[in-house]
Amino acid sequence: MTEVPSKEELSKLPFMKSDLDIEKRVEDLLERLRIDEKFRLFSGTKRFFTKPIQRLGIPYFKMCDGPHGIGPHSTNNIKCTYFPTGICRTATWNPDLAREFGIALAQEIREIGYYMSLGPGINIIRTPLCGRNFEYQTEDPYLNKIMAISIVRALQNKRIAACVKHYVCNNQETNRFTVSSEVSERALQEIYLPAFEATVSEADAWSIMSCYNKVNGVYGCENENLIIERLRNLLLTNNWHLLPY
């Protein structure tokens, strides 16, 4: 068994120094992680918790649901504020109110010792039959973008990570693990993608959750065009190349 360093030994490592550039800290940590430890970070130890890496002093990363406040199901039934749902907040057309919501939510998440909000949910509302319309925001791409930017910025200004979801075209709950959303390139560019693009390029979203469904026959989390050619390219270059689908 690998010996776990003391807190004093860990504190001297570059990735633990808060005054060091964040990119250098990340590079140092990645070099120290073994391949098996990197794989461990891909899965959770229980719902809403990542696995800790004790050897390097990496604790559980705690995430809570969701788009309209801390979900009791994700925090062992901790009582928190039930904020207005996404569709209600967005109906105000008020980005300042969205910012206040983000600040209040971040404060509650920080209070219970968690680090990420699994939200906002910014899928476009395309049909009244979608089971998650209440937590999504709107059918209007521009309004969707403006409100999402305010929430993400507010959360992350308080050092709580936003997890923008569900990328992309999560149009229905019925058969959501098997259904394929068939979408044209024009609809993707004009309707579905603008808010996701904006939360990355204008709000520096720290995480994105992929959709459960397929998009044009390929699952969202396996979709090379969506994940690699569009999203990762945007993260690396800050330039959203809308390539032919």
Rg of the chain (C-alpha set): 19
Question: DSSP string spanning the chain?
Answer: -PPPPPHHHHHTSGGG-TTS-HHHHHHHHHHHS-HHHHHHTTSEEETTEEPPBGGGTB-PPBEEE-TTS--GGGTTT-----PPPHHHHHTTT-HHHHHHHHHHHHHHHHHTT--EEE--B------TT-TTTTTS--S-HHHHHHHHHHHHHHHHHTT-EEEEEEETT---STTTTT-EE---HHHIIIIISHHHHHHHHTT--SEEEEPSSEETTEEGGG-HIIIIIIIIHHHHHS-------
All structural domains of the chain, each given as residue ranges with its CATH number in brackets, are: 1-60 (no CATH), 62-237 (3.20.20.300)
Contacts 24+ apart (CB under 8 A), 132-136: 132/170, 132/173, 133/87, 134/85, 134/86, 134/87, 135/66, 135/67, 135/68, 135/85, 135/86, 135/87, 136/67, 136/86, 136/87
How buried is residue 109: exposed, middle or buried, by Cβ count under 10 Å (0-12/13-18/19+)? buried
Predicted confidence (pLDDT) at residue 4 exceeds the cutoff of 80: no
Cβ atoms 15, 32 nearer than 8 A: yes
pLDDT at 245: 40
Q: Widest CA span of the chain, in angstroms?
A: 57
Burial class of residue 230, CB neighbours in 10 A (0-12, 13-18, 19+):
buried
Q: Predicted confidence band at 236 (pLDDT cuts at 50, 70, 90)?
A: low
Q: Tens digit of pLDDT for each residue in 60-105?
A: 999 999 889 999 999 999 999 999 999 999 999 999 999 999 999 9
pLDDT band at 48 (very low <50, low <70, confident <90, very high): very high
Indicate the pLDDT class of residue 243, thresholds 50, 70 and 90: very low
Is the confidence at residue 8, as pLDDT, over 50? yes
| pLDDT band per the 50, 70, 90 thresholds, residue 1 | low
Amino acid 9: pLDDT:
84
Instruction: Tell me whether the omega of the peptide bond preceding residue 14 falls within 30 degrees of 0, making it cis.
Output: no
Is residue 202 very low, low, confident or very high in pLDDT (cuts 50, 70, 90)? very high
For residues 137 and 143, the answer to whether their CB atoms sit within 8 Å is yes
Per-residue pLDDT tens over the stretch 14-41 = 999 989 998 899 999 999 999 999 999 8
**Residue in the block written with tokens 């206040």:** 100
Count the Cβ atoms, other than its own, within 10 Å of residue 176: 16
- The DSSP bridge pattern shows strands 180-181 and 207-210 to be unpaired
Share of the chain above pLDDT 70, in %: 94
Tell me what pLDDT residue 7 has.
Answer: 81
Report pLDDT digits (tens) over 113-129: 999 999 999 999 988 88
